[in-house]
Amino acid sequence: MKVFIAGASGLVGSNCLKHFTEQGWDVKGSYFSYEQPGTVYYNTLEPSDPKNFDIAAFAPDVIVHCGAMTHVDKCETEPEESYKQTVQSTINLIAVAKQCNARFVYISTDYVFDGKHGPYREDAPVNPLSVYARHKLEAEQLSLNELSNTLVLRVTNVYGNEARGKNFVARIVDQARNNQKLTLKLPYDQYASPTNAWDIARAMFVLLRDSKSGIYHIGSTDYMNRVELALTVLKYFPNADYELIPMNTATLNQPAARPLLGGFVKMKFSNEYPDMLFGNVDSYLQSLGL
């Protein structure tokens, strides 16, 4: 299997690049602004950029789109940039997938739901609350409508190993390890399914291997709010200096609306792959030697 991963220097993309390569697939992963060893340059917003890796010449069987504007509040205040990075980039990669006759994988989110009736199964009605969410849903639907064999993985609260350590869990671990004081103002009423990017890569691999398509919800065994997630990490650092201030979402007054009861029921995936066990936050932290 030949796979091109757009956004392979990020959290999900880098884990996919590593896992697929270890499984013997021929994989090329791209970066845009943050180069990592083993990645190639590709600007999804400028397909004619002469510096771009030649995807057509590589002739991938699959194109995986891991790139998007993920800063939810910034999307709210910069909707045009959000559209470019999330929707237009998808339109451009869909065109390349058609040119290569390649399958397409799109990474989506639980933010396509309004958070009133979560955790969610795949057939739940969507109702995005923010600019970020609307653009993710638009790109998701474009992918499904334009390419009949598209695979959409909806994921949320992703953590794990990544070069920049930008994810929520990694930032707490890094600050605690370096004896930095943490001040955490976190919502106690936003619930989701924190998921290791490594498990997302493993799930994507078997779905691609078995030629699956459509929407799959990928979530771990954890279901918790942000306060509980932080405390789960901090219990591994009994001497950490931190101030944790639980707040409700309304008090936080964030620019973008959040789904409160988000997260997933991954019944569809688990019914098809009952022998595949996912890790959780505790098992990930223990794998770091904590």
Residues 71-113: tens digit of each pLDDT: 999 999 999 999 999 999 999 999 999 999 999 999 999 999 9
105 membership: H or E segment, kind and range:
strand 103-109
The pTM of this model reads 0.96
- CA torsion, points 223, 17, 134, 138, in degrees to nearest 10? -130
Structure confidence at residue 68 as a pLDDT band (50, 70, 90): confident
pLDDT at 33 over 90: no
pLDDT at 254 over 90: yes
Q: Which residue type sits at 111? A: Y
3-class SS of residue 173: helix
pLDDT tens readout for residues 149-207: 999 999 999 999 998 888 999 999 999 999 999 999 999 999 999 999 999 999 999 99
Residue 110's contacts (CB-CB under 8 Å, 6 or more residues apart) are 118, 120, 154, 155, 156, 192, 193, 217, 259, 262, 263, 264
Return the domain boundaries, the chain: 2-161+192-223+262-287, 168-188+224-252
Which CATH architecture best describes the domain 2-161+192-223+262-287? 3-Layer(aba) Sandwich (3.40)
62 membership: H or E segment, kind and range:
strand 62-65
